[in-house]
């Protein structure tokens, strides 16, 4: 049995009238001391830490109005973090209580009471509810506080975070958040992350032996392919004796997508400029005239106010 399991069992027995109910702290030395956040309500003074059965020297008591935690990096979180890191707290408990006056106070009532103290509205933050952490349910306030503590980067994953609600009339505790269950979940998720990270590192280790010299690249030098293609094209065109054609071709079929441009030029040249007969037998003729392109038509200007 773990510490808070024993605390709840002993508390319920005592609330039922068992005079022998109690806790032996020596049996849970590895889980002590604990850090507890409670409300500032003076009615808690004689009840805590007695209802927990924990000696005062093993009980780090933090208090604020409504046992409220506003965010994971608040001053309350700083105190809880120092309680664990400096004072050695092994577990954390957020303890709310019934009949909480903070819960019963509305924002309007709060503003009125602050005004009675000489505090005007304009000096307060815009969002009074968020700043003061006002709440309407003691249970939900405890659960929310535990979630904030558990998500805070100031609290390590090894610290269980419990949520309790104390009945101010009977002293009976209600265990709202079982920190051991959350702690087990966090621990398993943490181990999963570590294991996944380890597998990734192992896979990356194989890249450590990678030698770029083992890669085989083409031995062609930069520009060599282009130079060879140019030389081939020059030789091919030089072997042809070009002559003016009688009339320029009117249509050319579109070249295939995958055909080499240089080869296509040669094909067109051989097709439209066939090799002539012996130049000594060829009759001389004037070169064909280049057709003049049609003139550019100027669009007439349309007077303003008239539609086309």
| 295 secondary structure, DSSP code | P
The low-confidence residues of the chain, meaning pLDDT below 50, are 187, 190, 193-194, 197, 200-201, 204-208, 210, 212-222, 225-226, 237, 240-242, 248-252, 257-259, 279, 295-297, 308
- The pTM score is 0.61
pLDDT tens-place string over residues 43-94: 999 999 999 999 999 999 999 999 999 999 999 999 999 999 999 999 999 9
pLDDT of residue 147: 97
Q: What is the pLDDT of residue 101?
A: 95
Encoded tokens for 24: 């032996």
pLDDT of 182: 65
According to DSSP, residue 275 is labeled P
- Domains of the chain and any CATH numbers: 3-192 (3.40.1050.10)
Which tokens in the block code for residue 175?
Answer: 């265990």
The pLDDT value recorded for residue 82 is 98
Output DSSP code: residue 243: -
Give which of 80, 89, 87 is closest to 150, Cα–Cα: 80
**Residue 9 contacts residue 66 (beta carbons within 8 Å):** no
Chain centroid offset of residue 102 CA:
35
Could you give the maximum distance between any two Cα atoms of the chain, in Å? Answer: 137
Q: What is the DSSP letter of 290?
A: P
């Amino acid at each position: 049995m773990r510490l808070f399991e024993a605390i709840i069992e002993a508390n319920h027995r005592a609330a039922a009238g068992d005079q022998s109910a109690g806790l032996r702290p020596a049996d849970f030395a590895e889980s002590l001391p604990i850090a507890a956040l409670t409300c500032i309500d003076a009615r808690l003074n004689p009840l805590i830490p007695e209802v927990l059965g924990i000696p005062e020297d093993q009980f780090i008591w933090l208090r604020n109005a409504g046992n409220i935690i506003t965010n994971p990096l608040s001053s309350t979180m700083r105190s809880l973090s120092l309680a664990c890191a400096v004072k050695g707290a092994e577990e954390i408990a957020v303890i709310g209580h019934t009949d909480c006056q903070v819960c019963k106070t509305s924002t309007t009532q709060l503003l009125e009471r602050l005004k009675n103290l000489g505090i005007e509205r304009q000096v307060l933050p815009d969002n009074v509810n968020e700043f003061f952490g006002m709440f309407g349910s003691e249970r939900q306030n405890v659960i929310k506080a535990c979630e904030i503590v558990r998500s805070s980067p100031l609290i390590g994953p090894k610290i269980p975070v419990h949520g309790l609600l104390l009945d101010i009339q009977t002293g009976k505790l209600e265990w709202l958040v079982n920190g051991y269950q959350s702690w087990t979940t966090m621990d398993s998720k943490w181990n999963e992350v570590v294991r996944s990270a380890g597998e990734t590192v192992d896979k990356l280790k194989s890249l450590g032996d990678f030698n770029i010299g083992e890669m085989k690249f083409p031995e062609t030098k930069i520009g060599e392919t282009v130079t060879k293609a140019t030389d081939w094209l020059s030789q091919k065109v030089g072997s042809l004796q070009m002559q003016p054609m009688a009339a320029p071709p009117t249509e050319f079929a579109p070249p295939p997508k995958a055909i080499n441009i240089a080869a296509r030029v040669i094909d067109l040249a051989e097709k439209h400029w066939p090799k002539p007969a012996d130049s000594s037998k060829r009759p001389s003729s004037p070169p064909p005239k280049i057709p003049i392109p049609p003139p550019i038509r100027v669009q007439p200007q349309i007077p303003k106010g008239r539609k086309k």
